[in-house]
Structure formats: C-alpha cells, structure tokens
Amino acid sequence: MSGLLVKSTIIMKENLEILNERGLNPPVLLGGAALTRNYVENDLQKVYNGQAHYARDAFDGLRLLKQVLAGTDTGLSKPPSPKPVSKPQKPRITRKRKKIVPVEPPTPPFWGSRVVTGIPLSAVVPYINKVALFRGQWGVKKRGRTSREYDLLARETLEPTLQRLVKRAQHGQLLQPMVVYGYFPCNSAGDAVHVYADPEETEPLMTIDFPRQAEENGRSIADFFHTEDSRVKDVLAAHLVTVGPRATEEAQRLFNSDEYSEYLYFHGFAVEVAEALAEYWHREVRRELDIDSDDGPDIPALFRQQYRGARYSFGYPACPRLEDQAHIFTLLQPERIGVTLTEEWQLVPEESTSALIVHHPAAKYFSV
C-alpha cells in the first residue's frame, strides 16, 4: 500500500471519514506546521480505521513512506489507547473590541485588479526565506549540530543545492512567476468588511465576516479599517501569486520516477519560491501605496514583519475559514493566471498563495 499525504487541516477528518465509508484504509502520512504528533496519533487516529502516521518534516515523511512501502513496522501498528478525558474548560467570554484609531487611507494607483506576468525568477529568488527552506521544507535542522557545523553544511551543501535548482528552473522554465492583484474601496461594520467595486458605490460588492479574538479587547481584521459611518472609504489590497503549473508537473514527474530526494528538494524549493513571490509582491504593493518608508533595512527584516501593515491569508490564525478563499476569487479572478479553487478550497497549482493586504500600522499577526 502506498502512503497518503493529507495537507489540509480543515478537511482532514472529513477525508479520513470518507475513506472509512468507502472501505479504503491505506496508511496515511500526516504532517505540516499546523499538526502535532499528539493530534495525529490520538485525535485523527481515533477517526480513521487504518494507520495514521505523523511526519515531523518532509524527510521524516520520506523515511516513513519507505517503511510503509517495505511493509516494516513504523512504530504505530495499532491505534493508541485513548487518553483520559479532561474536564471541559470554561467558555471564553467575548468582550468589547479593542479601539484602534483609524489612519488616513493611502491612495492606490488604480481601483480593481490587474494581471502581471513575465516576472523574472531572478527578481524573486532574493526573497526566498532560507531558514524556512532549509529547516522547514528540506528538514535540515540545527539540532545536534554546532553553529559552525550547521553553517558549514549550509555553505557546502544547502546553498549549492539551492543555486543548482535555481539554474535548473531557469533553464527549463519550470517556474513561471505570475501575479493578479488589486485595490478595492472598503469600510468596516462591526466584525465585517464591506468591499465595493468603486469608491462611489453605496452597495457593497461583497461582505467579508472576520472572526474576533474572544479575550478582553480582542482583535479582528475589521478593526483596521474606517467604519461605514465615517464617510471615509478605506483601501483593501489583495493578491494571489503562483509559479505556474509546470512546478507541480515536474514535482510529480520526479516522484513517479522514484527520485524521492530530488522530489523533496524541488518541491520544497518551488513552494518557497511561491512564498518569496508573495513577499516580493507585497513589497510592490507597499511601494505603490507609498507606505514602504517603514520597511526594514534588508530582506531578512521583511521576514520578521518589519514593514507597515500585514498580509493575511485565509486558513491562517487571524482568518482561519479556508472557505473564505472564495472572496479572493471573486475579487481577483485568478483563473486569468491559471489558478483554480478545489471543492475543498485548495489552490491549484499547489505552489500558489493568496492574501488580503492591510495598510494600517497597527495590523500585525494574531490568532483568534
């Protein structure tokens, strides 16, 4: 049996239940930043009739996959014994919203959306977060190594591998950076944001409901915009970026050819290039809005959110409802750059990412 890699935390339990209903119980490999070993081996294993294995990173997943294919013991041959049920916690109480003083909205260069193609890969590569690539995607941790040993490994192995992949992608045109982005007038109404097609419109094109932190003075993304009774139209920016379908095709080819190590290197590289493209274009948006004077002194500073405002993606802590991704598609029509949305609200090609961009200086990342 082959292992099955399930990535969406939103639909994970539903997928496992569907497999149960259809009598299909292959070993399942689960991993990613949103998962923990306890969640996989306890919560999800209770749902699934087959074996659910936790992989802490891609290389651990490859090791488990090889063991599954070889029919050897992976250390989880049967569901674990259930843990004692803890006492239910008291529900949190929603209190009054934190007051955030509005700021004068910047002036966008246009209203609506635009498509940008032909972005050279060389312009995006400097924005690759090497920590996320080396330690996250490629699974090369500092644990067990001195700083000197890790730096030597990065210099002699990881950096050359990255440069090799960049040249290979350029030569074969395997990555094709594309963007669709835009600016839209908006106003907040409680925990919702009304988005308009034009500043003169009185009827919203759509309304996006955002969740709010339940603790005292909890935050919501809606707090960062002028209210509808202020008579001031605010600005909501949005973008969707992709490196195109050839990245997915090449990753699939490597996997089907049993070139697992190269598959993991290339797939992780392509995913991080898409993230780098998002960082690169977010900087372009700040430049167009003339709010980039607050940018940090270098690109690593941008990874630490040293810039004005924030970039929020649906499915992440501040706006966790992945189904709200449909709002991005209504605003930007990313089908124009070949990106579609599955029934489970996943972007295709996989090496794509979208976000709402908030200009308010108080906008930072938070969880609800």
CA distance to 13, 15, 52, 196, 220, per residue, from 6 (Å): 10, 8, 10, 37, 30
For the chain, domains (ranges, CATH) are 4-70 (no CATH), 112-181+220-358 (3.40.109.40)
Helix (H) or strand (E) run with residue 125 in it: none
- Give mean pLDDT, residues 361-366: 94
Model pTM?
A: 0.76
Under 8 Å CB-to-CB from 358, ≥6 apart: which residues?
221, 224, 225, 236, 237, 309, 310, 311, 312
DSSP 332-360: H-GGGGT-EE-TTS-EESSSEEEEEEE--
Name which of 61-70, 186-195, 345-354 the model is least confident about: 61-70
Rg (CA), the chain: 22
The pLDDT value given to residue 341: 95
Average pLDDT over residues 254-268: 96
Provide the pLDDT confidence category of residue 46 given band limits of 50, 70 and 90.
confident
Residues 194, 198, 199, 203, CA torsion sign: negative
* Helices 260-288, 58-70: crossing angle, 10 deg rounding: 150
pLDDT, average across residues 289-313: 97
Rama region for 295: left / alpha / beta (φ>0; ψ in -120 to 50; rest): beta
| Cα(280)–Cα(254) distance, integer angstroms | 28
More confident: 344 or 123 = 123
Q: What is the DSSP letter of 307?
A: S
The average pLDDT across 304-320 equals 96
pLDDT score, position 87:
45
CA distance 312 to 136: 20
> Which of 347, 120, 360, 358 shows the shortest CA–CA distance to 240?
347
Q: Would you give the DSSP letter of residue 314?
A: T
By three-state DSSP, how is residue 146 classified?
A: coil
Predicted confidence at residue 177, as pLDDT, reads 98
Instruction: Give residues with Cβ within 8 angstroms of 360, minimum separation 6.
Output: 100, 102, 103, 224, 225, 309
Q: What is the rounded CA–CA span in Å between residue 241 and residue 353?
A: 6
One-letter amino acid at 103 equals V
- Residue 359, pLDDT > 70, answer yes
Amino acid 24: pLDDT: 72
CA–CA separation, 223 vs 102, rounded Å? 9
17 and 47 in contact (C-beta within 8 Å)?
A: yes
How confident is the model over 340-352, as a mean pLDDT? 95
